[in-house]
Amino acid sequence: GENVEQHPSTLSVQEGDSAVIKCTYSDSASNYFPWYKQELGKRPQLIIDIRSNVGEKKDQRIAVTLNKTAKHFSLHITETQPEDSAVYFCAACASGGSYIPTFGRGTSLIVHP
């Protein structure tokens, strides 16, 4: 089955800095890669996703890149703000697996004012 590794487990940055979270996956059949943000005590919520037919996707201050050859994808947050503090999860899904995501273990992002 799919295995998703996520690093780092904790990331501490100063407000205004950039943050990068990296994930690797093992199943070459995976073709959909969502990222979820989970604030303390809340549910995970989708913030951005990317499909295997594109290499990069941006939405304001967040972007995701995908390298299919190396089987890794990354979340980039620019100009971080305290409200970006949360746990971020990456996931990988294969359409052949009926889009059941395998999640990484999460990254706790702390943005210091």
Partner 1 sequence: DAEITQSPRHKITETGRQVTLACHQTWNHNNMFWYRQDLGHGLRLIHYSYGVHDTNKGEVSDGYSVSRSNTEDLPLTLESAASSQTSVYFCASRRTAEETQYFGPGTRLLVL
Binding site for partner 1 (CB under 8 A): 6, 9, 32, 34, 36, 42-46, 49, 89, 93, 98-101, 103-106
AA identity, residue 80: T
For residues 13 and 32, which CB has a smaller minimum distance to partner 1 in the complex? 32
For residues 41 and 113, which CB has a smaller minimum distance to partner 1 in the complex? 41
Backbone angles phi, psi at 82, to 5 degrees: -55, -35
The nearest distance, CB 68 to partner 1, in angstroms, is: 17
| Whether residue 101 has a cis bond before it, omega within 30° of 0 | no
Give residue 79's Cα distance to chain centre: 17
The nearest distance, CB 91 to partner 1, in angstroms, is: 8
For residues 76 and 103, which CB has a smaller minimum distance to partner 1 in the complex? 103
Best CA proximity match to 6, nearest among 26, 29, 25, 31: 25
